[in-house]
Amino acid sequence: MINTYVVTEGQTNADVLQKLLPDQLTKDVVFVVGSGKYSAQSLASTLLATRRIPTALVVDANQENEAEQEDFLRSILRQASPGVPFEVFLAIPEIEVILFQDKPLLEQLTGRQLTQLEWDIGRHHPKEFLKSISNGHNLSIISILDDLDSQTKQSLQQHPLIVELSQFLSSVAVAP
């Protein structure tokens, strides 16, 4: 039974969320992948209007005005929602920022000591930063998450995006 939809703007975002959200919260969740932010917004609106099932929209902010962007997305979804719970979640600036909540943890995950300048740049452009330090290796957020132990996974689950999305999923969960 589908309890909730989580709509993302791309496969990487969906993969990250599936790897980091607690399993008990995602067993009745369907991840729907858009082909960009506007595709995801359209999918979320359509699901709310036609399926009438709680929906979370998770998109990257991409250095845009976050508050304005969030207000716009909420307004669009509110128009489509016939009283069905929904929520908008912005990864600021992009989903890879989840790795940048703790410098020693990121250093452990990447196997590299970071200067303060690298840390600052990485927090503002996490996807590009991961590409720049990969030296031809496949150092993507997915490859990093694939190798997590349970303690490290729990640390990453403390990122506000994961915490807030988990709270939403818990709030709309249907009791068995």
Instruction: Convert the pLDDT of each residue in 43-96 to its tens digit.
Output: 999 999 999 999 999 999 987 788 899 999 999 999 999 899 999 999 999 999
Closest by alpha carbon to 56, among 65, 48, 66? 48
Q: How many folded domains does the chain comprise?
A: 2
Same domain? 29 vs 40: yes
Q: What is the pTM for the complete model shown?
A: 0.93
Q: If phi over 0 gives left and psi between -120 and 50 gives alpha, with beta otherwise, what is residue 136? A: left
Tell whether the model's pLDDT for residue 176 goes beyond 70: no
Here the tokens at position 26 are 């995602």
Q: Give every CB contact of residue 40 below 8 A, 6+ residues apart in sequence.
A: 7, 8, 9, 33, 34, 57, 58, 59
Q: Are residues 140 and 58 in the same domain?
A: no
Q: Assess whether 120 and 163 both reside in one domain.
A: no
Per residue in 125-159, pLDDT (tens digit) is 999 998 888 766 666 888 889 989 999 999 999 99
Cβ contacts of residue 164 below 8 Å, gap of 6+?
A: 87, 89
Name every residue whose Cβ is closer than 8 Å to that of residue 173 and which is 6 or more positions away in sequence.
3, 4, 25, 28
Examine the domain organization and report whether 39 and 19 are in the same domain.
Answer: yes
